[in-house]
Amino acid sequence: MVSQSEIVRPSCNFSPSLWGDFFDSFDWDQKAAEFYLQEIKELKNKIRCMLVDTSIDVSKKVELIDTLERLSISYHFETEIEEQLNQIFINSTLDQSNLYIVALQFRIFRQHGFNISSDVFNKFKDGNGEFIEALTSDVKGVLSLYEAAYLRKHGDDILEEALTFTKYHLIKMLPNLSPSLQKQVSHSLDQTIHRGWQRTEARFNISIYENDETKNDSLLRLAKLDYNLLQMLHKQELHEIRRWWKNLDLSKFTYPRDRVIEGYYASLGMYFEPQYSLARIMATKTLVMTSVIDDTFDAYGTIEELKLFTDAIQRWNIEEIDRLPGYLKTVYGTLINLHQEYEQELEKQGRSYVVEHARARWKELIQCYFKEATWFNKGYMPQFDEYMENALITTVCFLLIPALLLGVGSATRETYDFLINNPRIVTAMAKISRVIDDVATYKVEKERGQVATGIDCYMKQYGASKEEAFEKLHEMAEDAWKDLNEELLKKSIPNEVAIRALNQARLMDIFYKHDQDGYTNPEKVLKPQIISLLVDPIDL
Ligand SMILES: CC(C)=CCC/C(C)=C/COP(=O)(O)OP(=O)(O)O
């Protein structure tokens, strides 16, 4: 038998965490929190009255809802917003007057699960079936149509055309726009509303709204206060997570990526509202474990060690720990203990049964990681279809959804039963995750000596060139977004679950922006986002 010191392991050289012990000290400022809360309460009442005011016309109402969402304060008014949208929809009182408002209504209604037809855009085409050229003088209209196009589902061909049309014109008009519009258009070209996280986008939107001549001061004030108050809560959670992490032997390991802060940011993207505090903390711990175990399989363990680990996971019993080599004892013990802690915590809510679902998904995930490791070990390259069957699971999406719902009280046995059969909404998010990840990590995986990469397997099965494979994988992601948009309209799944699936798909747009692996290398894209969300409060 080869001794531990003789084993040659791949060197990965992941960059260290950007954050050191930055988030380790935190004091909750009760006085500030009380001050914020008091004013927030008053402002909420004021805004609630505006929302239900029957004298405000439809377009203004929809604009108000859009503003609340952009400023990330709509969660305070969920019931009122649903009521208002229902009333407008039932009474068919949509405003048809111009492209801006038609596209805005379309986006808002689709985002809220109303199956509004894309035929509403037919009237903006000329006799040749092209979008009317004169529309291009209406920047707000073109931008609104561009954002609406991201809600497209299968068969919405007019929105496919709209996307090409608007993108082309927005890029062309960009240099000649006023500074404020220029900012908004470049931002949208980089991060669309539908594919962005509401909370991440809030800060940019607040800065734009602040300079909007038509702004409502109450909305702006609420947005700022709420931003700072939530930031305090999030910092406190992060502090707790860091304490958990630092107390683990696992945190002393040097081989895996230390991405605890980025993992928390990912959870924050899934749910930022205060009532999800426990869910966020649990989700972060699970994400951290997936990351460490992914690195264990991809970049550290030998095939023999990984076999022992995989078998032990299938048995899920702490007594199995003795069969494992030292470092895997730590990984295994941490995972088992963590789920025991979840169980104890959820016992208090009478929901400890949900942990069993998470465990089942862990067993499945580890088996698939092992299959991947075996392929790597043998230099085997599967056909793309065979690869995808396994690789959809290694996106961790099938584990993530039940794990994200651990701390969500309204996720019932029925919710979990529904998820067992891998519904299309979850498969869609897994497809998006897999192909976006494969495109972004291709170079690094090749350098690591991976044979069975998504790109290579595609090239093998279809005799395609590398460029064609990249293009095809991008197309697959767009196609899966249409599946996802379609499923969101069916309302066959509790909204709380559906939103998590959508937010996970959005994560890919954010973390892997411009085909770069922002999770492994968070400096460029994620760092500024994390600073603005979790470090700097907004000036009041
Ligand atoms: C984005 C977040 C928070 C993900 C959770 C951690 C995780 C499993 C990362 C895998 O990245 P990878 O690119 O190494 O995945 P794979 O090995 O499947 O390609």
pLDDT digits (tens, 9 = 90+) for 329-379: 999 999 999 999 999 999 998 888 899 999 999 999 999 999 999 999 999
What would the mean pLDDT of 505-512 be, rounded to a whole number?
96
Report the nearest atom of ligand 1 relative to the CA of 441.
Answer: 13
Q: How far is the CA of 284 from the centre of ligand 1 (A)?
A: 13
What is the SS3 assignment for 339-363? HHHHHHHHHCCCCCCHHHHHHHHHH
What would the mean pLDDT of 171-196 be, rounded to a whole number?
97
Nearest to 446 by CA among 436, 437, 455, 435: 455
- Which pLDDT band, with edges at 50, 70 and 90, does 449 fall under? confident
How far is the C-alpha of 147 from the C-alpha of 189, rounded, in Å? 9
Q: Whose alpha carbon is nearest atom 3 of ligand 1?
A: 263
Q: How far is the CA of 291 from the centre of ligand 1 (A)?
A: 6
Ligand 1 within 6 A of CB of 295: no
Residue type, 306: L
Q: What tokens were used for 160?
A: 């496919």
- Which pLDDT band, with edges at 50, 70 and 90, does 4 fall under? low
Q: How far is the CA of 46 from the centre of ligand 1 (A)?
A: 44
Ligand 1 within 6 A of CB of 415: no
Q: How far is the CA of 356 from the centre of ligand 1 (A)?
A: 23
Ligand 1 within 6 A of CB of 261: no
Ligand 1 within 6 A of CB of 373: no
Ligand 1 within 6 A of CB of 270: no
Ligand 1 within 6 A of CB of 401: no
In this prediction the ipTM stands at: 0.95
Q: Which residues of 59-88 are buried (b: 16+ CB within 10 A; e: fewer)?
A: bebbbbbbbbbbbbbbbbbeebbeebbeeb
Nearest to 319 by CA among 305, 306, 329: 329
Q: What is the pLDDT of residue 9?
A: 77
Ligand 1 within 6 A of CB of 519: yes
**C-alpha dihedral (462, 388, 491, 226), degrees to nearest 10:** -110
Ligand 1 within 6 A of CB of 298: yes
Least confident of 189-203, 318-332, 436-450, 464-478: 436-450
Q: Could you tell me which residue, 496 or 283, shows the higher pLDDT? A: 283
Cβ 257 vs Cβ 295: under 8 Å:
yes
Least confident of 2-6, 221-225, 239-243: 2-6
Q: How far is the CA of 290 from the centre of ligand 1 (A)?
A: 8
Q: What is the pLDDT of residue 432?
A: 97
Pocket test for ligand 1, best of 376, 519, 526 (most atoms within 8 A of CB): 519
- β partners of residue 125: 131
What would the mean pLDDT of 212-219 be, rounded to a whole number?
97
Q: What tokens were used for 146?
A: 């561009």
* pLDDT tens profile 366-378: 999 999 999 999 9
Q: What is the pLDDT of residue 415?
A: 87
Work out the percent of the chain whose per-residue pLDDT is above 70.
99
Q: Whose alpha carbon is nearest atom 9 of ligand 1?
A: 291
- For the chain, what is the mean pLDDT? 95
- Which pLDDT band, with edges at 50, 70 and 90, does 410 fall under? confident
Q: What is the pLDDT of residue 2?
A: 52
What would the mean pLDDT of 88-94 be, rounded to a whole number?
90
Which residues 6+ apart lie within 8 Å of 356 measured at CB? none
Residue 435, pLDDT above cutoff 90: yes
How far is the C-alpha of 461 from the C-alpha of 467, rounded, in Å? 15
Pocket test for ligand 1, best of 261, 294, 388, 433 (most atoms within 8 A of CB): 294
What would the mean pLDDT of 107-128 be, rounded to a whole number?
97
Q: What is the pLDDT of residue 3?
A: 61
Report the nearest atom of ligand 1 relative to the CA of 290.
Answer: 8
What would the mean pLDDT of 496-522 be, rounded to a whole number?
94
Q: What is the pLDDT of residue 381?
A: 95
**C-alpha dihedral (448, 451, 452, 454), degrees to nearest 10:** 70
Residue 310, pLDDT above cutoff 70: yes
- Which pLDDT band, with edges at 50, 70 and 90, does 111 fall under? very high
Ligand 1 within 6 A of CB of 444: no
Work out the percent of the chain whose per-residue pLDDT is above 90.
89
Q: How far is the CA of 396 from the centre of ligand 1 (A)?
A: 8
Residue 1, pLDDT above cutoff 70: no
How far is the C-alpha of 444 from the C-alpha of 446, rounded, in Å? 5
Report the nearest atom of ligand 1 relative to the CA of 519.
Answer: 1
Pocket test for ligand 1, best of 284, 437, 510, 529 (most atoms within 8 A of CB): 437
Q: How far is the CA of 434 from the centre of ligand 1 (A)?
A: 10
Q: Whose alpha carbon is nearest atom 17 of ligand 1?
A: 294
